[in-house]
């Protein structure tokens, strides 16, 4: 069959129609989620778990990763690429002090970024053959509008954290960017201003992390798995964290530690860390919500 080069105007119009259709689908999905919240408001039952449950959770996550290793590696290879581009941007523009806040801030939006991994675990749980393409099924989920809305909330939290971290750095070390990596490390670890930045930054980051985890750790898998409203999903997630304070605190440390280790060297470890944490989050949801 003969091939022809399409008219650029015609091609552009087709892309515009596809984008409009996508926005319409998101809008209808959001309306659907709001309607479910009005019809079935309330809370869902939750379980209390202990830290020992993490052994089974990560065993199942490792099994998911082993089953889809090639697919999830392909799916998650974008994370180290983003990390390297980010690092180059920061170093290139003398924003070295913001490298750690940016890297640690990924944990705030991680639950949204791993939505495709939840779908892969869900499909495998039902005994279906799954590849990375199946992760795109989340775009057809009835609650995708609510999932996207919650994701945008986390993005807003992430941007607020970056602004807060920059304000803390400016208030302690000053607005003048460091001239070199040794100079920056010396200012951070050997001066009172540097220690003040570390202390205030850790305290502020902890508040952001607790808030983000509370509203999202169970919400995304719940919205993907059940036909409920966004308000119900967030309330269930907050109740799950409140009912399991110690296990959830340990979970937060595991996630933070995993992301830090995965960022070294050059964010390459995230190719493995992100899939394991994503699959584990799905099985954590299964443990807590009966």
224 Cα distance to chain centroid: 15
267 Ramachandran zone, left/alpha/beta (phi>0; psi -120 to 50): left
Instruction: Return d(Cα 267, Cα 79) in angstroms, integer.
Output: 7
**What pLDDT, in 10s, does the model give residues 237-258?**
999 999 999 999 999 999 888 8
Average pLDDT over residues 151-169: 90
The predicted model scores a pTM of 0.77
* Residue predicted with more confidence, 8 or 55: 55
Q: Cβ distance 178 to 184 under 8 Å?
A: yes
Residue 24 pLDDT exceeds 80:
no
Q: Express each pLDDT in 26-71 by its tens digit.
A: 455 445 555 555 545 557 889 999 999 999 999 999 998 888 765 5
| Beta strand extents in 31-182 (DSSP E only) | none
- Mean pLDDT computed over 124-144: 73
Per-chain mean pLDDT for the chain: 78
Q: Is 187 left (phi over 0), alpha (psi -120 to 50) or beta?
A: alpha
Q: What are phi and psi of 50, to 5 degrees?
A: -120, 175
Instruction: Out of 100-114, 140-154, 158-172, pick the least confident.
Output: 100-114
C-alpha 77/C-alpha 272 separation (Å) is: 9
Q: Give the contacts of 198 (CB within 8 A, at least 6 positions apart).
A: 188
- Residue 99's H or E segment, with its range, is helix 99-113
% residues pLDDT > 90 (the chain): 30
Through-space distance between the first and last CA atoms of the chain, rounded to whole angstroms: 55
Max mean pLDDT range (48-62, 100-114, 123-137): 48-62
State the SS3 of 166-186.
HHHHHHHHCCCCCCCHHHHHH
Spatial distance between the Cα atoms of 185 and 134, rounded to a whole number of angstroms: 45
Conformation bin of residue 47: beta by default, left when phi > 0, alpha when psi is -120 to 50: beta
């Amino acid at each position: 069959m003969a091939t022809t080069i399409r008219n650029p105007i015609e091609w552009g119009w087709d892309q515009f129609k596809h984008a409009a259709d996508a926005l319409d689908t998101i809008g209808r999905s959001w309306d659907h989620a709001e309607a479910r919240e009005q019809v079935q408001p309330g809370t869902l039952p939750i379980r209390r778990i202990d830290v020992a449950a993490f052994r089974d959770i990560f065993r199942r996550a490792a099994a998911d990763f082993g089953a889809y290793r090639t697919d999830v590696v392909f799916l998650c290879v974008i994370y180290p690429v983003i990390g390297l581009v980010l690092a180059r941007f920061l170093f290139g523009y003398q924003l070295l002090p913001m490298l750690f806040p940016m890297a640690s801030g990924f944990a705030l939006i991680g639950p949204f970024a791993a939505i495709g991994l939840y779908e892969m675990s869900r499909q495998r749980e039902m005994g279906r053959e799954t590849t990375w393409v199946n992760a795109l099924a989340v775009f057809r989920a009835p609650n995708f509008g609510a999932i996207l809305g919650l994701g945008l909330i986390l993005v807003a939290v992430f941007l607020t954290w970056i602004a807060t971290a920059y304000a803390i750095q400016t208030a302690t070390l000053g607005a003048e960017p460091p001239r070199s990596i040794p100079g920056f490390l010396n200012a951070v670890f050997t001066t009172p201003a540097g220690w003040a930045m570390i202390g205030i930054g850790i305290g502020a980051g902890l508040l952001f992390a607790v808030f983000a985890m509370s509203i999202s750790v169970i919400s995304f898998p719940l919205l993907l798995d059940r036909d409920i409203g966004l308000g119900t999903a967030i309330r269930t997630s907050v109740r799950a964290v409140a009912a399991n304070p110690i296990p959830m605190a340990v979970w937060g440390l595991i996630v933070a530690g995993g992301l830090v280790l995965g960022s070294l060297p050059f964010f390459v470890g995230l190719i493995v860390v992100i899939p394991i944490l994503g699959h584990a989050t799905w099985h954590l949801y299964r443990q807590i919500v009966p």
